[in-house]
Amino acid sequence: MKLPRIMLAAPASGSGKTLITCGLLQLLVNRGKKPAAFKCGPDYIDPMFHRKVIGTPSKNLDTFFTKENETRYLFGKTAEQADISVLEGVMGFYDGIGGVTDGASSYELAKVTNTPVVLIVNAKGMSLSVVPFIKGFLEYRKDSHIQGVILNQTTKMTYLLLKEQIEQELGIVVLGYVPKCPELTIESRHLGLVTPDEITGLQEKLQQLAELLEETLDVEKILQLADDAEVLEWETPEIPRLEKKREQKTPRIGIARDEAFCFCYQDNLELLQEMGAELVTFSPLHDETLPSHLDGMIFYGGYPELYAKQLSQNSSMKKQIKEAVLNGMPYLAECGGFMYLQEMMEDMEGRKYPMVGVIKGQAYSTEKLGRFGYITLTAKEEGQLLQIGESMKAHEFHYFDTTNNGTAYQAKKPHGNREWDCINGTENYAAGFPHLYYYSNPKFAFRFLQKCVEWSQEG
């Protein structure tokens, strides 16, 4: 299928990828186009910014989580509904698994999806040295897919001088520049950027940036580069689906979603729907009651540590969740959601608050990243949502730990020998720090929905 697409990548984190990606997306919206947005890797926050601009969910693409065909399928099924797709890279262009490979890097995703790459180079403090710098990225892999360059944090005068040098010596098109804009920066916190809803006047800032990029980027050449992307092919993977029987209702799954629980892969939600689930959101922060007629619940990650007091004080919600779980309702919980379901949780200042209490244990701050990165989870105990020996892909990213990580699954890093036990679980639930990617083993999500149906019928 002919799918116009472009990737914005960079030599390193902090080069301006997210801001320029959002500015370009806003520019495309302003021009009346219908863009689709994607993020390379397991990042949750950058897609929130994309979504703020385009008004529809942004998707993650990750070649650690999915094989090549599945990656192309996940890209294609969204991209075919758009005029143009913009993929934002992760970290440095070649930075991949373990820090010493290009696996699951922006480069690998560009290769798998055959996407033209525009390299965003932070040229602050550089003049002619930017030429050999770019040359290194072009030559490190002969199939780099890098077809254009944008110079960030430079002046128009320097850009005009460097553009000629770069194009003459390297034979690559320079697609514009972005001047230093301190008023358009985005703040960070311990899990990455602050979320879009926390930034005052974000929409106005993005409009300002889009207007600036209209002046400083060669937008027509960028669009042409995207339009020249080669045809992409894939096969639709087989997805298990619940049988539709007259006496069997569609399982209704409650998804915790608010400021405290906002880390969720859009493709996970869409896969559950494709399998036959009805999804309804609720807020453990603001709602006093659960949605009616639920057959299961999912608590994804986020920032519960920032809202520990409010979560603890919402006694009616905690009580209803606990009663549902004690009554046998199936559930899944990841990272922040897992912390919320424990007996106690600390906030960022170390103050302890009682939580739902369906999982024995206390979540506490470590003030440093623990067990960070990609993992493969393998079931090691009988009676789980995965059978013994079955695996799925996940990642961890948290500054908290718990007195009860669980032992139902074994986590193993993709490189080296590091492994550990994790996840509290049975065939009815799974709760732990790992963020799961359902497409890496759809059987996990399907069995969860089956348990929800069984529980509903028993009730």
Q: Where are the domains of the chain?
A: 5-227, 252-458
Return the higher-pLDDT residue of 180 and 229: 229
Q: What residue type is assigned to position 412 of the chain?
A: K
pLDDT at 98 over 90: no
Exposed / middle / buried, residue 131 (Cβ in 10 Å: 0-12, 13-18, 19+): middle
Structurally, at CATH architecture level, domain 252-458 sits in 3-Layer(aba) Sandwich (3.40)
What per-residue confidence (pLDDT) applies to 50?
96
Residue 204's alpha-carbon distances to 20, 27, 182, 200, 213, in angstroms, are: 15, 13, 15, 9, 14
pLDDT at 265 over 70: yes
Please state the rounded mean pLDDT for residues 54-79.
Answer: 97
pLDDT at 190 over 70: no
Confidence bin at 24 (pLDDT 50/70/90): very high
Q: 184 is written with which tokens? A: 């358009």
What per-residue confidence (pLDDT) applies to 185?
75
pLDDT at 285 over 90: yes
Active site residues: 335
Residues ≥6 apart with Cβ < 8 Å to 424: 359, 404, 405, 406, 408, 430, 431, 432
What per-residue confidence (pLDDT) applies to 181?
85
What per-residue confidence (pLDDT) applies to 110?
98
What per-residue confidence (pLDDT) applies to 189?
65
Residues ≥6 apart with Cβ < 8 Å to 160: none
DSSP 327: T
Q: Which CATH number fits domain 5-227: 3.20.20.70, 3.90.180.10, 2.40.30.20, 3.40.50.300?
A: 3.40.50.300
Please state the rounded mean pLDDT for residues 210-229.
Answer: 98
Q: What does the alpha-carbon distance between residue 300 and residue 262 come to, in Å, rounded to a whole number?
A: 7
What per-residue confidence (pLDDT) applies to 246?
67
pLDDT at 191 over 70: no
Confidence bin at 218 (pLDDT 50/70/90): very high
pLDDT at 201 over 80: yes
What per-residue confidence (pLDDT) applies to 197?
87
What per-residue confidence (pLDDT) applies to 416?
84
Q: What does the alpha-carbon distance between residue 291 and residue 447 come to, in Å, rounded to a whole number?
A: 22
pLDDT at 199 over 90: no
pTM over 0.85: yes
What per-residue confidence (pLDDT) applies to 194?
86
pLDDT at 459 over 80: no
The overall average pLDDT reported for the chain is 95
What per-residue confidence (pLDDT) applies to 28?
98
What per-residue confidence (pLDDT) applies to 373?
93
Please state the rounded mean pLDDT for residues 260-277.
Answer: 97
Backbone angles phi, psi at 162, to 5 degrees: -75, -35
What per-residue confidence (pLDDT) applies to 99?
87
Closest CA to 254 of 394, 407, 452: 452
What proportion of the chain, given as a percentage, has pLDDT over 90?
89
Return the higher-pLDDT residue of 189 and 135: 135
User: What is the helix (H) or strand (E) element at residue 193, kind and residue range?
Assistant: strand 192-193
Report the SS3 class of residue 303.
coil
Query: Does 5-227 match 252-458 in CATH topology?
Result: yes
Confidence bin at 244 (pLDDT 50/70/90): confident
Q: 390 is written with which tokens? A: 């079955």
Strand partners, 421: 410
pLDDT at 192 over 70: no
Confidence bin at 349 (pLDDT 50/70/90): very high
Q: What does the alpha-carbon distance between residue 278 and residue 384 come to, in Å, rounded to a whole number?
A: 23
What per-residue confidence (pLDDT) applies to 168?
96
Torsion of the alpha carbons at 45, 48, 50 and 56, rounded to the nearest 10: 150
pLDDT at 187 over 80: no
